[in-house]
């Protein structure tokens, strides 16, 4: 007893000490900032300098074809270019390819390539190089990861002449060009890829605006300006060599440290700002907050339709009515994340805005539906039917990334009110629990993608021997729509197809969409020109650092 | 003496071998398939997964996998990381110095603060110094390492700007992480030294020394401290091991390079060769530390030296 009281005394003492010291520090900071704001007047032509950018996790490899992580894209976007670029409106524009045509049957694309481009190691960029790259992705020896899914249904390519290449697909695909613009299909130097083999990820060579300098594992990745660069895409203003001399990507997993290192000016910018720090940074006169919503599939909870009683649409709809997504997103993200309404995120072709506001929490309706289905509340408040309790096994695969574990906890509370017991399991081993044993009733996932065809992998009936989908949905009508959507060339018809699919998924309560993830960057006001591409990844071609 | 050290070395080799076997078995038995962790489960085909499994030798029975692994290790080949194909040995050799530097500096901080405060608080029992020492002791052992780390960052980098918040460039970036770990260690040592000093001070031989008219200072530092140090050295030996383990948290909080982060990442990814390599090297350090502790006994305590001789 005595001991715990003295312990609290010490704690209080320590807390007071911290508060006093931080109070002094804050006062000092604000005087600094006024001096800086007045100096910021002559903005514009700063050249040179080193941009330090703190990443939240370490890239797995700098070989675009072998990477499976979004964080890698932030770094490899500086080193590699793509054949084409996708603008935020979905249109496809030239990059390393200057023009292209599609065959009548939609199964082959002929690209004209830009001349005079060289890889950082001096290798000329040409049709041979492109062929090498595309073939490399499908070669099992490459151990390609996410890039392999992006390149499908690629079958082969033919070199027509030095700067013309014909790419053949197994079947037409409206998603192919958009996928070709993604960083994971960036063009690597064939010379380097042959020389380094599986170590290309440590010795990356591309044609991008920055050349690779070094990678100290778990510390930093350094890239330097490519002086010869003059083929920047339409997404950036500066098509030539970058303004800054170098970028140092520091790897800082602990969020408090990451934000602390921007606030203490140890780095100029840091990604993934936790929601609780956003307000403070917005009010900080030295800092700016940049935000870009990522595009693709929002963070979505998938019902496992293979398991009873979740194969019953009424039970799923009851859960849909019982879960108050609005309050979850508001509570956890303090108004900084947007709530998701559909299987797709806003900003992607075919996004159905009419779904916004369509599902609202209604406890009475949820109770009524469960009553109707024969689920009766027991003395413990949990519903049961035929001696079977109504429990929902909620699995999450990350140690509270973006507060996802808290979402599970809130849903557990909300569903308790209608008599559903939620068992939450947090496990790193989703490969076994989710993909091998299907041992879940609800599981969340999200995906960055630029084309609504992303839905195919999540909702199309999986073929024999193929990996089944998260929802286990199998509906011939949806299969047909997804197949049509993949090949439909008329954009209006495509929009119509994807609208139908999204409406179905919400009406049938196959999923509970939760939030749209915003990519946030806190940066010193000295930094100008950080842009974001159509998927929400940062671009550093236009960056300037004011002295 | 030499004989003792030799026999200790022999047992040490056994300990290292045992640790390797144990970790290998644990990693092998853990649920989760490394191949599925490497290949994105949403895009890899079953065929790709099978190919990779054969390539990595994971289709072989356990004893063959283990024999292959151990045979290679004896030849100095620790294999390649399953995740990015980095050779394990160079990776460990590259990162070990940073962790050793961190452990060394935090040990120095822990021992200096710990022994100084421990002795002073025992001598000035119930005084102001005693209060401060007990506060430090309590703070050190009760604060979670990452919390202390973040507190130090807020104070010394964000507010005061004295030290960098993260990184592994030079001595200045070593100060905060070492202080974080050192504070934890100091907490344990303070309590240990204080208690054993108090115990020794009340022993009859101290009374005898006082009766002989020796100065209080000579009694405390020449005789009491020496006797109090024996249990303390044991604690310090164990503590340095703890500090080494503590680098996992501290290196992550301060984004430092080092062996702690490597093993944390490797465990997450079930990267068997890397985990094995790191365990092998850390078990060597533990064993060497224990040996040093044993040897140091005989220097502090003549009775131990005599016992060894006979």
A353, A346 in Cβ contact below 8 A? yes
Neighbours of A301 (CB within 10 A): 24
User: Looking at chain B, how many residues does it have?
Assistant: 310
- What is the reported pLDDT for A40? 37
The bridge status of strand A220-225 relative to strand A246-251 is: antiparallel
Q: By CA distance, what is A433's nearest residue in B?
A: B32
- What is the reported pLDDT for A17? 54
Residues B249-272: what's their mean pLDDT? 85
- Chain A residues inside the 8 Å CB shell of B142: 7
- What is the reported pLDDT for B102? 92
- What is the reported pLDDT for A473? 92
- Chain B residues inside the 8 Å CB shell of A428: 32, 268
DSSP state of A460: S
How confident is the model over A394-448, as pLDDT tens digits? Answer: 998 876 778 888 999 999 999 999 999 999 988 777 777 887 788 899 999 988 8
The residue ranges of chain A whose pLDDT is under 50 are: 1-5, 19-43
Q: By CA distance, what is B37's nearest residue in A?
A: A431
> For residue A398, what are its two tokens?
């990350």
CB contact set of A400 (below 8 Å; sequence gap of 6+): A406
- Chain B residues inside the 8 Å CB shell of A24: 159
- Chain A residues inside the 8 Å CB shell of B256: 218-219
> For residue B75, what are its two tokens?
């030849």
- Give rounded-to-5 percent helix, strand, coil for chain A: 35, 25, 40
- What is the reported pLDDT for A31? 34
More confident residue, B158 or A164: A164
| Alpha carbons A15 and A19: distance in angstroms, whole number | 6
- Chain A residues inside the 8 Å CB shell of B86: 202, 217
Across the interface, of A24, A201, A432, the residue whose CB is closest to B31 is: A432
Contact A257 B254 (CB under 8 A): yes
| Alpha carbons B185 and B180: distance in angstroms, whole number | 9
Report CA-CA distances (Å) from B186 to B116, B201, B245: 10, 22, 16
| Main-chain dihedrals φ then ψ at residue B18, nearest 5 degrees | -60, -45
Asked if the C-beta of B166 comes within 8 angstroms of chain A's C-beta atoms, the answer is yes
| Alpha carbons B77 and B91: distance in angstroms, whole number | 12
- As a whole number of Å, the CA-based R_g of chain B is 24
What are the helix (H) ranges across chain B? 2-29, 34-38, 46-55, 62-74, 88-123, 128-142, 145-153, 172-201, 204-211, 216-217, 225-253, 259-268, 272-300, 302-309
Confidence class for position B284, pLDDT limits 50, 70, 90: confident
Contact B255 A256 (CB under 8 A): no
- What is the reported pLDDT for A105? 92
To the nearest whole number, what is the mean pLDDT of chain B?
83
Q: Provide the shortest C-alpha distance from residue A391 to chain B (in Å).
A: 25
What order of strands is seen across the sheet that includes strand A97-102?
A97-102, A108-113, A164-169, A154-161
Contact A149 B40 (CB under 8 A): yes
- What is the reported pLDDT for A4? 47
Q: What is the DSSP track for A21-78?
A: HHHHHHHHHHHHHHHHHHHGGG-S-----EEEEEESS--S-S-GGG---HHHHHHHHH
For helices B128-142 and B172-201, angle between their N-to-C axes, nearest 10 degrees:
120
3-class secondary structure per residue, A102-119: ECCCCCEEEEEECCCCEC
For chain A, the maximum distance between any two Cα atoms, rounded to a whole number of angstroms, is 86
Beta bridge partners of A110: A101, A166
Contact A260 B146 (CB under 8 A): no
| Chain centroid, CA B203 distance in Å | 34
- As a whole number of Å, the CA-based R_g of chain A is 26
- What is the reported pLDDT for A363? 94
How confident is the model over B51-97, as pLDDT tens digits? Answer: 777 777 777 888 888 888 788 888 888 888 877 778 888 888 988 88
Q: Is residue B309 scored above 60 in pLDDT?
A: no
| Alpha carbons B291 and A109: distance in angstroms, whole number | 69
The bridge status of strand A97-102 relative to strand A108-113 is: antiparallel
- What is the reported pLDDT for B232? 85
- Chain A residues inside the 8 Å CB shell of B83: 60
A244, A268 in Cβ contact below 8 A? no
More confident residue, B223 or B107: B107
Contact A261 B164 (CB under 8 A): yes
CB contact set of A248 (below 8 Å; sequence gap of 6+): A50, A51, A52, A53, A220, A221, A222
For helices B225-253 and B88-123, angle between their N-to-C axes, nearest 10 degrees:
140
């Amino acid at each position: 007893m005595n001991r715990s009281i003295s312990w609290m005394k010490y704690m209080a003492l320590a807390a007071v000490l911290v508060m006093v010291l931080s109070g002094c520090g804050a006062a000092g900071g604000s005087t600094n900032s006024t001096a800086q704001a007045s100096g910021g007047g002559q903005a514009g032509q700063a050249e040179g300098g080193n941009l330090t950018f703190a990443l939240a996790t370490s890239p797995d490899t700098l070989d675009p074809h072998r990477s499976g992580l979004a964080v890698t894209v932030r770094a490899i976007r500086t080193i590699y270019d793509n054949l084409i670029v996708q603008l935020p409106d979905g249109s496809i524009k030239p990059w390393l390819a200057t023009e292209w045509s599609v065959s009548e049957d939609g199964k082959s694309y002929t690209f004209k390539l830009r001349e005079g481009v060289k890889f950082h190691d001096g290798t000329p960029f040409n049709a041979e190089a492109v062929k090498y790259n595309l073939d490399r992705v499908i070669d099992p020896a490459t151990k390609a990861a996410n890039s392999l899914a992006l390149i499908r249904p690629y079958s082969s390519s033919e070199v027509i002449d030095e700067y013309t290449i014909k790419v053949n697909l197994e079947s037409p695909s409206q998603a192919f060009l958009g996928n070709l613009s993604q960083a994971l299909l960036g063009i690597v130097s064939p010379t380097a890829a042959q020389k380094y083999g599986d170590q290309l990820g440590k010795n990356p060579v591309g044609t991008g605006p920055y050349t690779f300098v070094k990678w100290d594992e778990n510390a930093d990745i350094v890239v330097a300006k490519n002086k010869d660069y003059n083929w920047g895409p339409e997404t950036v203003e500066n098509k030539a060599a970058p303004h800054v001399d170098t970028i140092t990507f520091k790897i800082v997993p602990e969020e408090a440290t990451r934000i602390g290192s921007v606030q203490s000016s140890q780095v100029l910018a840091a990604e993934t700002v936790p929601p609780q720090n956003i307000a403070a940074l917005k009010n900080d006169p030295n800092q700016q907050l940049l935000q870009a919503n990522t595009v693709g599939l929002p963070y979505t909870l998938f019902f496992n339709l293979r398991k009873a009683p979740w194969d019953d649409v009424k039970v799923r709809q009851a859960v849909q009515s019982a879960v108050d997504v609005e309050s979850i997103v508001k509570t956890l993200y303090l108004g900084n994340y947007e709530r998701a309404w559909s299987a797709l995120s806003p900003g992607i072709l075919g996004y159905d805005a009419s779904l916004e506001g369509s599902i609202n929490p209604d406890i009475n309706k949820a109770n009524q539906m469960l009553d109707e289905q024969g689920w009766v509340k027991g003395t413990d408040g949990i519903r049961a039917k035929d001696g079977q309790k109504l429990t929902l096994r909620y699995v999450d695969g990350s140690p509270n990334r973006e507060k996802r574990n808290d979402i599970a906890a809130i849903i557990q509370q909300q569903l308790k009110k209608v008599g559903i017991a939620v068992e939450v399991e947090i496990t790193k081993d989703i490969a076994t629990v989710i993909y091998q044993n299907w041992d879940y009733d609800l599981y969340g996932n999200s995906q960055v993608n630029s084309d609504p065809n992303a839905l195919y992998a999540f909702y199309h009936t999986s073929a024999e021997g193929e990996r089944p989908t998260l929802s286990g949905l199998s509906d011939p009508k949806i299969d047909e729509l997804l197949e049509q959507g993949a090949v439909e060339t008329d954009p209006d018809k495509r929009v119509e197809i994807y609208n139908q699919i999204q409406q179905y998924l919400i009406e049938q309560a196959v999923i509970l969409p939760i939030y749209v993830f915003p990519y946030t960057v806190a940066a010193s006001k000295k930094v100008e020109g950080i842009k974001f591409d159509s998927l929400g990844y940062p671009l550093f071609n236009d960056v300037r650092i004011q002295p | 003496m030499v004989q003792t050290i030799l026999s200790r070395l022999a047992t040490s080799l056994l300990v290292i071998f045992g640790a390797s076997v144990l970790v290998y078995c644990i990693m092998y038995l853990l649920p989760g398939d490394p191949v599925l962790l490497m290949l994105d489960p949403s895009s890899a085909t079953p065929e790709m997964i099978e190919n990779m499994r054969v390539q990595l030798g994971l289709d072989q029975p356990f004893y063959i996998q283990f024999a292959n692994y151990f045979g290679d290790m004896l030849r100095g080949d620790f294999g390649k990381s399953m995740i990015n194909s980095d050779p394990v040995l160079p990776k460990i050799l590259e990162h070990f110095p940073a962790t050793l530097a961190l452990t060394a500096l935090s040990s120095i901080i822990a021992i200096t603060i710990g022994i100084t405060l421990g002795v002073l608080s025992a001598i000035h029992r119930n005084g102001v110094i005693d209060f401060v020492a007990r506060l430090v002791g309590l703070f050190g052992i009760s604060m979670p390492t990452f919390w202390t780390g973040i507190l130090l960052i807020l104070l010394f980098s964000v507010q005061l700007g004295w030290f960098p918040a993260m990184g592994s460039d030079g001595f200045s970036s070593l100060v905060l992480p070492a202080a974080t770990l050192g504070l934890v260690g100091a907490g344990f040592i303070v309590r240990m030294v204080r208690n054993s000093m108090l115990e020794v001070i009340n022993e009859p031989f101290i009374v005898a020394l006082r009766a002989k008219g020796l100065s209080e200072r000579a009694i405390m530092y020449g005789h009491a401290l020496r006797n109090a140090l024996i249990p303390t050295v044991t604690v310090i030996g164990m503590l340095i091991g703890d500090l080494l383990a503590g680098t996992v948290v501290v290196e992550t909080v301060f984004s430092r390079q080092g062996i702690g982060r490597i093993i944390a990442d490797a465990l997450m990814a079930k990267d068997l060769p890397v985990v094995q390599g790191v365990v092998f090297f850390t078990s060597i350090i533990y064993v060497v530390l224990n040996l040093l502790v044993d040897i140091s006994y005989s220097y502090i305590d003549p009775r131990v030296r005599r016992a060894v001789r006979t």
